[in-house]
Structure 1
Amino acid sequence: MIDRLIYPAALAGSLLMTAVGVLWWLAPGSYPFGPDDRYADLALMTYVPRGAAIAVAVILGIAGMVLAAGRRDGPVAIAFAAVAATVLGLLVPDIQVLILAAYAMALAVPSALVAVLANRLLPRLPVAAVFAVAFAAVLGWLSYVARDADPIGARPLFVFGSFAAGAVWAAVLIRLLRAAGGDRPAWTQPEAAARWGRTLTWAAALCPLPYVLTRLSWLTPWPIGESAETLAAHPGLRIFGLALALAGEGGTWLTLGLIRPRGETFPAWLPVVGRRPVPVLAAVIPGLLAAAAITIAGHSILQQAVITGDYLLVLLMPFPLWGPLLAAATFGYWLRRRPSPIPSRPQVSV
């Protein structure tokens, strides 16, 4: 199912990318990056002139449409997919991807906990309805807390659009590499992956702890990453910091699931899916997307640390290390549980 959607998604993404390039050309004010961007010290696109961004968007878009429409393979297609995945998926986006994802987790984790608890206490209550009510309540509270925040405009559409396009081209790259075949090294065998995967998974699971501690510090008189005056003026931020800490701990729990039995069989206490096998892609896709978002945040944190000279940020938010470790841990999980290779269909080489 997913394999059948990869090339249509790449074609649609390339078409949209070309349209974005044309939009930036016709409407200069629509270009969301540059020195006046609120994320200027966190985005690599700050240093990319609008004209260069337009050229890259149009060239990648047109070339992507040609390759996706023809479903081509070969060295040129592999090289293009690798470049597109890297540029669109890792270099164009910035820490805003992780910020909004973390806020979504801060909404979802408490709501999911309420839904699970309600299901345990009152099994007849529909889980989806309980989750929806809890989510709406948390969303309403968050909207109240963030009522004074500056509007973010359309910038996230471009950032997330690029991230999504990069993810699609990464999927194309994986498919092309699998179709190319070749002998698999010994370290990719399930037994070997289980050994090194366990070590890397534990390392990845420990990485969120400094971030969790910084958010928990908002509950103390010595907050890290936010001023005491701001927290005193907006008490709801302290609770939101706690929610972000819970989201970080949720990330640790999910990461360790890659090497625990719950990574292969859903825990019995989970509604609906309890005791059922975990589909491989249900763990791999979210894991790789999270790893990419964290890696992106890593270059944003490094960029800001260089600009400000505050290298403590890198220690408190070790995203440059966390992202690659999580990607490697997820890759090890996939190597252990991957399905048998599927034969590739004949394609046109370029």
Structure 2
Amino acid sequence: MRRLTASTISAATLAVAALWWFVPGSYPYGAAAKVTVGVNHWIERGPGVGLMVASGVLGVLAALGVRSRPRAAGVVAVVESAFFLLVMSDASVLSSIGYALIPAVLLGVAGMVAVGCVRRRPVAYVLAVLLPAGLIASLTMTDAVSRYLVNVASGFAVYGGRIAWSWAMAIAAVGWAWLAYGSFARERRVTVPRWGRAVTIAAALCPVPYALARLTWVTPWPLGGFDPRTGHITLIAAEGGDAATRMQGFLIGLSAVLAVVLTLGLISRWGEVVPRWVPRVGGRPVPVMLAVGPGAFGAVALCVSAPGVLAGAVQMGSWVDGVLFVLVFPCPVWGPLLGAAVYAYWARRRTAEKSRSAASPRP
């Protein structure tokens, strides 16, 4: 399986290198690219093709040595993973996830309000009145709603191909990381880390600055603007930004709020047992992988986006803007913190399950 994975990634890498060489217009990176949040923004087509060819050839050699020289193949897998993670991937992976979460946030809020009404919660009744009223009010702003939809559609039309390349590079990085783990991992006794709670709280705090900034976009004092003409992060004036853009910023801010809530779930009771007010499944244990899977996915996406955030910070108008950029998008620390929090949750749940199995009487 490991040989097949290494061979597949290497063959795909060489195929991409050939495509970029024979079809110059297919090269998605370099100074001419519109996306600048990545190290690949500084890599032109010639060096990019050369790097991919070298990666593909090295990967083929690793695939041939998976069985005969597993340690050497593991070292190559580490190098390959670092190459795709630090050089070829970028922060557009994270932005696409943020927009993808918007429908999930809206459906989740609607579902919670509906369940609350069924459970006769006063707060749910209030929200059931306010939310439709807000929806009706927003629908009267037909121009804002239509422009928002046009903004999202045109954004994916312009950047969709570029985002797809970023996801392909991220998948290659994860594939090589999996191969490296398989080469060096050993079975060890799982212990519950003492730092789990502190790390989880720190990870939950990481998206707070972004969430607060974006949520202000529905107020007369929106924060967190970026002027592409000057390269500076600024406070958006009260009259700045049309309604569609501000609606877009607010909705993606809700995705950051969801990230905060879900991260805190890793140390909360409801992260282990489904709340009793949830129909049918209330009171049942939360499947471990239901939390670990999305959490690990998010941690990997953040780590993949970290080099791009640092590259974007370097290109800001000043060092102050660069620091603010990293503060708003703290992927370099957020990714490792979230990964550690997910590991602590997994270790705690696994240890608890083993303890229950040992304590239960055997037939």
Q: Does TM, normalized by the shorter one, top 0.5?
A: yes
Stretch moving more, 274-283 or 234-243: 274-283
Residue equivalent to 2:78 = 82
Which 5+ residue runs of structure 1 have no aligned equivalent? 124-136, 341-350
**Of 288, 306, 311, the match for 2:314:** 306
Q: 1:297 to 1:166 in 2, by over 3 A?
A: closer
Residue equivalent to 1:323 = 335
CA distance in 1, matches of 2:272, 2:183: 27
Does the aligned pair in 2 maintain the 1:90–1:163 contact within 8 Å?
A: no
Residue equivalent to 1:161 = 168
What is the number of residues matched between the two proteins? 315
Please report how far the alpha carbon of residue 168 of structure 1 lies from its aligned counterpart in structure 2 after TM superposition. 2.0
Please report how far the alpha carbon of residue 329 of structure 1 lies from its aligned counterpart in structure 2 after TM superposition. 1.2
**Of 54, 67, 84, the match for 2:49:** 54
Residue equivalent to 1:214 = 213
1:284 aligns to 2:292 (yes or no) = yes
**Of 249, 262, 269, the match for 1:261:** 269
| One-letter code aligned to 1:331 | Y
Residue equivalent to 1:151 = 158
Q: 1:162 to 1:148 in 2, by over 3 A?
A: closer
Matches within 5 A, 1:239-250: 239-250=247-258
**Of 109, 116, 133, the match for 2:105:** 109
Q: What's the secondary structure of 2:223's corresponding residue?
A: coil
Please report how far the alpha carbon of residue 62 of structure 1 lies from its aligned counterpart in structure 2 after TM superposition. 4.2
Q: What's the secondary structure of 1:278's corresponding residue?
A: coil
Matches within 5 A, 1:173-192: 173-178=180-185, 180-181=186-187, 189-190=191-192
Q: Output the aligned Cα RMSD.
A: 3.4
Does the aligned pair in 1 maintain the 2:197–2:267 contact within 8 Å?
A: yes
Q: What's the secondary structure of 1:151's corresponding residue?
A: helix
Report the TM-score when normalising by structure 2: 0.74
Q: What's the secondary structure of 1:325's corresponding residue?
A: helix
Alignment deviations for residues 166-204 of structure 1 (CA, whole Å, 9 cap, x no partner): 1122222233333x45x66xxx612xx1x2111100111
Please report how far the alpha carbon of residue 95 of structure 1 lies from its aligned counterpart in structure 2 after TM superposition. 1.2
Residue equivalent to 1:346 = none
CA distance in 1, matches of 2:282, 2:53: 47
CA distance in 1, matches of 2:48, 2:108: 40
Q: What's the secondary structure of 1:314's corresponding residue?
A: helix
Residue equivalent to 1:170 = 177
| One-letter code aligned to 1:60 | S
Does the aligned pair in 2 maintain the 1:90–1:166 contact within 8 Å?
A: no
Structure of higher CA gyration radius: 2
Q: What's the secondary structure of 2:30's corresponding residue?
A: coil
Q: 1:143 to 1:271 in 2, by over 3 A?
A: farther
Please report how far the alpha carbon of residue 208 of structure 1 lies from its aligned counterpart in structure 2 after TM superposition. 0.9
Aligned identity (percent) is: 35
Alignment deviations for residues 42-97 of structure 1 (CA, whole Å, 9 cap, x no partner): 21012223233223323333443554577536321221222222222343211111
Does the aligned pair in 2 maintain the 1:89–1:164 contact within 8 Å?
A: no
Residue equivalent to 2:33 = 37
Does the aligned pair in 2 maintain the 1:218–1:226 contact within 8 Å?
A: no
Does the aligned pair in 2 maintain the 1:231–1:237 contact within 8 Å?
A: no
Report the TM-score when normalising by structure 1: 0.77
Q: 1:109 to 1:32 in 2, by over 3 A?
A: same
CA distance in 2, matches of 1:338, 1:11: 34
Q: What's the secondary structure of 1:221's corresponding residue?
A: coil
Q: 1:272 to 1:298 in 2, by over 3 A?
A: farther
Does the aligned pair in 1 maintain the 2:38–2:309 contact within 8 Å?
A: no
Please report how far the alpha carbon of residue 214 of structure 1 lies from its aligned counterpart in structure 2 after TM superposition. 0.9
Does the aligned pair in 2 maintain the 1:116–1:271 contact within 8 Å?
A: no
Please report how far the alpha carbon of residue 270 of structure 1 lies from its aligned counterpart in structure 2 after TM superposition. 4.7
CA distance in 1, matches of 2:65, 2:281: 39
